[in-house]
Amino acid sequence: MIKKIIAKKILSKSKALSLKTKFLTSKHYNTLIEEDCDAYDNLGNLLFRFRKNAIPFDILKSGVDAFESSIELTESRGSASGSSHKRIRKDGSISNITVGNKVESGSVGYMDSGAMVKYCRKTAFARNHFDKFKDGVPFVQFVDKKYKELCPKHYEKQKAIADGTNKNYVIDGTSFTTVTVNKNFRTACHQDAGDFKEGFGNLIVYREGNYDGGFFVMPEYGIAIDLHNTDILFADVHKWHANTEFTNCSDDWLRVSFVMYYRENMIKCSSPKQELQKTKIEKTGYLTL
């Protein structure tokens, strides 16, 4: 039996905005979702679909084993890390690179041109550990299948743009270009950016040891969701969201979370050969043929 809720907004736009980069707690929700549930706003827009036991454990574990080594300490997670500011150079000037707090996070799959690197490419993980990356593809394909099944309208649009993208930058047979992998990372309040806006977000969590909390909370609606192994959440990640604190953690506690998405600028990627030319132009200032 799938519970259906119409979620009322409990925060004004400005109140919600004031939560940006803040860490949220049990004060920010009044409903905790622990079973299958579909939630809509009062206009009938889908807010989330949550399904227990949707991913076979062996497929989940193969994804964890494959992608875990992509995780590194990084300051590239922006407001989700609890801070987002321009990097200050040693000479005191302000660079155009945005950085945040250091968190354990990785990127799997492909990246488009950004502030640091001006061409489309494999992520460092996919480049340096291509066999491992390949081993995790069935996990991504499984999530893609659930996406199609549970959010068909959003999926159709995302799959169309993925199908129109140079296939060297799309995870084989899916609507995703990239997977973010986070370890024991309590995200601060943020809205996702850089993903395909007409798509729908997702979250998968792998847990070891024991901990409580770490709920996915949508403060505007006062709703939190408790994800366990093999659960899947599709959520409107363009709404404000965060994790609550982790409590009662055993010494061996582990939480690896996965977010799979299509990077919106990847439709502009050319063939790898042409992208390589861009690196040469960037390095030398000349197009070398």
First-residue to last-residue Cα distance in the chain: 62
Q: Which is nearer to Fe ion, 129 or 241 (CB)?
A: 241
Distances (CA, A) of 255 to 12, 18, 136, 181, 212: 32, 28, 18, 10, 11
Considering the complex, what minimum distance in angstroms separates the CB of residue 186 from Fe ion? 12
Considering the complex, what minimum distance in angstroms separates the CB of residue 250 from Fe ion? 26
Q: Which is nearer to Fe ion, 173 or 194 (CB)?
A: 194
Among 144, 192, 195, 220, the residue binding Fe ion under the rule CB under 5 A is 192
236 binds Fe ion (CB under 5 A): no
Contacts of 261 (CB under 8 A, 6+ apart): 176, 177, 178, 179, 180, 192, 195, 196, 199, 201, 202
Q: Which is nearer to Fe ion, 126 or 237 (CB)?
A: 237
Considering the complex, what minimum distance in angstroms separates the CB of residue 108 from Fe ion? 16
**Number of chain positions touching Fe ion (CB under 5 A):** 2
Considering the complex, what minimum distance in angstroms separates the CB of residue 166 from Fe ion? 26
Q: Which is nearer to Fe ion, 24 or 269 (CB)?
A: 24
Q: Which is nearer to Fe ion, 119 or 240 (CB)?
A: 240
Considering the complex, what minimum distance in angstroms separates the CB of residue 237 from Fe ion? 5
Considering the complex, what minimum distance in angstroms separates the CB of residue 92 from Fe ion? 32
Site string for Fe ion, 40-59 (x = CB under 5 A): --------------------
The site for Fe ion (CB under 5 A) is made up of 192, 237
